[in-house]
Structure 1
């Protein structure tokens, strides 16, 4: 069994391997559903820890469209804006509900997609992901501090129990951090929802 230090090292290595799709990588022509699935699953297969199945499926895309999370395809074809919206949905979907994602992303689809949008969605996407490099380093520093604090817990426990309990303390601190951030996102989504309680646009 690997030690906690070895487990932590693998976490840092995983963070360094994570990547995202740049808008320039997306084909410049509109794609049919099967082409979208091939591109997304090939490009994003290494960005998720669990890769037993495809990252995205036809059913998922149809469900996102049904829930108004991005504009409808044009003549069954998906543009670069569609693919960028799908990427953003994938980032959010493991954190908050589809209803909250709709509140957060619908304004992007309504206002910043299409040939005349200013700023356009690729520009917004690049701006948001320009924060990633610094965020990645801050994240690594934050989890180092959490890991070091966890290693100070349960000092009186036997060696095997101490290792197990310190790992539990570290994971619990990570979970609490995720919980708080999830609550923050949901709070803002609720505020967005309450700003337009009579909006029937997508009903």
Structure 2
């Protein structure tokens, strides 16, 4: 039987950059990278969370409004955080389409309160994590109830196989829904 609590613990679902983690002063690229590494790096992996090349590519692809004097503002860091979360499921072009309206508003409106928007994003993530934990348990229970327990020799493998297939299926359904919304996203200048 899959141990859901162990699986959830290994996922580190509570990692995020809170507004209070972002300094009010502008940061150089290395400082931005360090902030993301400190928050998202896995202790058992050498995988880089964010690199200079990634940030430069985000800027070239116009996922970020222009950077001044090689320093990144709090608004830049919030956008990079959004990009970090979106890039697991969306293409760079889809992310650009999604963030285009926000970038325009940030660039054109000094009084835009991006903090409130980011706090809403963080709150949605918290709710999603809660729902995810419940849903994950439900999916594992569904798989277990469908398997014939008479074949004990391969039961654990078949359970893992069907759980993987179920998780990927749900992921693909959500990804397709997100891509449909990206295709329909409209930013209207006000």
TM over 0.5: yes
How far is the alpha carbon of 1:180 from its aligned partner? Answer: 0.6
Rounded to whole Å, the distance in 2 between the matches of 1:121 and 1:18 is: 22
1:80 equivalent among 53, 63, 74: 74
Mark the runs of 5 or more structure 1 residues left unpaired by the alignment: 197-203
Rounded to whole Å, the distance in 1 between the matches of 2:80 and 2:12 is: 23
TM-score normalised by length of structure 2: 0.89
Q: Give the match for residue 23 of structure 2.
A: 27
**Aligned residues: CA RMSD:** 2.2
Partner SS for 2:90: coil
Number of aligned positions between the proteins: 187
Q: In the alignment, is residue 64 of structure 1 matched against residue 61 of structure 2? A: no
Rounded to whole Å, the distance in 1 between the matches of 2:17 and 2:132 is: 20
Q: Give the match for residue 201 of structure 1.
A: none
Rounded to whole Å, the distance in 1 between the matches of 2:97 and 2:181 is: 9
Q: Which has the higher contact order (CA 8 A, sep 6+)?
A: 2
Shift of the 113–42 alpha-carbon distance from structure 1 to 2, 3 Å rule, reads farther
Q: Give the match for residue 9 of structure 1.
A: 5
Matches within 5 A, 1:1-203: 4-6=1-3, 8-15=4-11, 17-46=13-42, 51-112=45-106, 116-118=110-112, 120-155=113-148, 158-192=151-185
Shift of the 126–113 alpha-carbon distance from structure 1 to 2, 3 Å rule, reads farther
How far is the alpha carbon of 1:133 from its aligned partner? Answer: 2.8
How far is the alpha carbon of 1:181 from its aligned partner? Answer: 0.6
Shift of the 111–95 alpha-carbon distance from structure 1 to 2, 3 Å rule, reads same
Deviations 1:10-33 (A, max 9, x none): 222235652211112111111111
Mark the runs of 5 or more structure 2 residues left unpaired by the alignment: none
How far is the alpha carbon of 1:134 from its aligned partner? Answer: 2.6
How far is the alpha carbon of 1:50 from its aligned partner? Answer: 7.3
TM-score normalised by length of structure 1: 0.83
Rounded to whole Å, the distance in 2 between the matches of 1:133 and 1:63 is: 29
How far is the alpha carbon of 1:65 from its aligned partner? Answer: 0.7
How far is the alpha carbon of 1:75 from its aligned partner? Answer: 1.0
